[in-house]
Amino acid sequence: MVALVAVENLVKHFPVKRSLADVVAGRHPVVHAVDNVSFTLDENETVGLLGESGCGKTSTGRLLLKLDQPTSGRIEIAGKDLATLAGADLKAFRRTAQLVFQNPFDALNPRFNIRRVLAEPMINAGIDRREYADRINAELARVRMQGVGDLLDKFPHQLSGGQLQRIVLARALILGPKFIVADEPVSMLDVSVRAGVLNLMREIQETLGLTAIYISHDLALVRYVAARTFVMYLATVVEDGPTEQVISSPQHPYTKALLAAVPVPHVNQNREPLPIKGNMPNARNPPSGCRFHDRCPMAIARCAAEVPALREIEPGHRAACHLA
C-alpha cells in the first residue's frame, strides 16, 4: 500500500475578535479548530471522520483540499507538500482532489442549468469543449441520472434533494479525481433517499479506487462507508482504528460515551451507558492535558497535567488516553 495522504502535526487556529481585556493583556485569542493531528491514508482507503459538531472535522477536510491554509504542520498528498503547491501543480491537484459538499442546495449555482453546472469544472480546468458532452453523459450514467428527460436544461431548484446530491457527485467526479472529501454528504437529505445516495457513493468509490474521507457526526453512516474511523474531540483525534474494532472495543472514554449515546445494532445492547459530564468546553480555551479530562468519569490527576499521545493499543488501533 502507498500512502496517498500524509498529515503531520496539523494545526488550524482561527483568530477571534479581541475583547478590550484581550487588547490590554496583549492576548490574541484563537479558536482551536485542529490541533496536532497526524495520520496517513493509503491509496484506495475509505476513512470516516467522526465527532460532534464543532470538533474540527470540516476544518480538517478543508485543509486537506487546500481550501484553507494550516497555522502549522504539514500535509503531503501523492508526495507533494500542499504548502508549496502552486501554478500547474496546484491546478493538477485541484483536478485530483474534490469536495462533495454538505448541502447540495448551497453547492450549486442556482442560475446555472445542470449542463452548465457540470461543465463548470471542465471550463476551469481548461478541458477541450468537444469533450464536455461525452464526459457529462458518462458521469450522469455513473450516478444513475442518464435519460432523465430534459435534465440538462433544468435548474437546481427543479430537482429533488436526492437528484441534486447525485449531480453534486457527478460534478465532483467529472475531472477524474483520486481523492474525495465528502462532508456530511447526506445530512440534508430525507432519510428515504440517504441509503440510495450512500450506496452509490460507496460503489463509485470502490470502482474508481478513490481515497475517500467521509466526514460525519453520524456513527451509522461512518460504519456503513468507512473501513477505518477517526474519532475527533475538540480539535484532536482521540482514537482511530478499523471501524468495527473501534465500535466493538472502543478504547477512549469519549468514544465509549459517543457509542453509548446511540444504539449500535449487534454491539451495545447490553453496554452500560457511560455518564459524561457537562458540555463541550469552549474551543478558545481547551482544557489542559487530555481535553476530555474534565468530562471523563475515569480521569486521574495525570489526565489534567499531561497530553496523552495517540498510541497503538492493538495493531492499527490507536487511542489517546493515559488509561487505555
At closest approach, how far in Å is the CB of 175 from ligand ADP? Answer: 25
- Candidates 25-33, 56-64, 158-166, 168-176: pick the segment binding Mg ion (CB under 5 A): 56-64
Residue among 44 and 187 whose Cβ is closer to ligand ADP: 187
Among 58, 98, 163, 211, binds Mg ion (CB under 5 A): 58
How far is the CA of 225 from the CAs of 36, 108, 217, in angstroms? 26, 25, 13
Residue nearest to Mg ion according to CB distances in the complex = 58
At closest approach, how far in Å is the CB of 183 from Mg ion? Answer: 6
How far apart are the C-alpha atoms of 268 and 244, rounded to whole Å? 12
- Candidates 19-27, 55-63, 173-181, 285-293: pick the segment binding Mg ion (CB under 5 A): 55-63
- The site partner of 82 among Mg ion, ligand ADP, none (C-beta below 5 to 8 Å per kind) is none
Question: 293 is written with which cell numbers?
Answer: 479530562
Q: Quote the DSSP letter at residue 271.
A: P
How far apart are the C-alpha atoms of 312 and 321, rounded to whole Å? 11
At closest approach, how far in Å is the CB of 107 from ligand ADP? Answer: 16
Give the count of residues interacting with Mg ion (CB under 5 A).
1
- The site partner of 229 among Mg ion, ligand ADP, none (C-beta below 5 to 8 Å per kind) is none
- The site partner of 241 among Mg ion, ligand ADP, none (C-beta below 5 to 8 Å per kind) is none
Question: Where along the sequence are the contacts to ligand ADP (CB under 6 A)?
Answer: 14, 31, 33, 51, 53-59, 283
How far apart are the C-alpha atoms of 132 and 287, rounded to whole Å? 52
Residue among 58 and 163 whose Cβ is closer to ligand ADP: 58
Residue written as grid cell 463541550: 280
How far apart are the C-alpha atoms of 302 and 274, rounded to whole Å? 21
- The site partner of 33 among Mg ion, ligand ADP, none (C-beta below 5 to 8 Å per kind) is ligand ADP
For the chain, the C-alpha Rg in angstroms (whole number) is 21
Q: Nearest 5°: phi and psi at 165? A: -65, -30
Helix boundaries (H) for the chain:
20-25, 57-64, 87-96, 104-107, 114-125, 132-142, 161-173, 191-208, 219-225, 243-248, 253-260, 301-305
Residue among 166 and 295 whose Cβ is closer to ligand ADP: 295
Residue among 53 and 270 whose Cβ is closer to ligand ADP: 53
At closest approach, how far in Å is the CB of 59 from ligand ADP? Answer: 3
Q: Do β-strands 228-233 and 72-77 pair in parallel, antiparallel, or remain unpaired?
A: unpaired
Residue among 102 and 268 whose Cβ is closer to Mg ion: 102
Residue among 14 and 112 whose Cβ is closer to ligand ADP: 14
At closest approach, how far in Å is the CB of 159 from ligand ADP? Answer: 26
How far apart are the C-alpha atoms of 52 and 266, rounded to whole Å? 23
Contact residues toward Mg ion (CB under 5 A) are 58
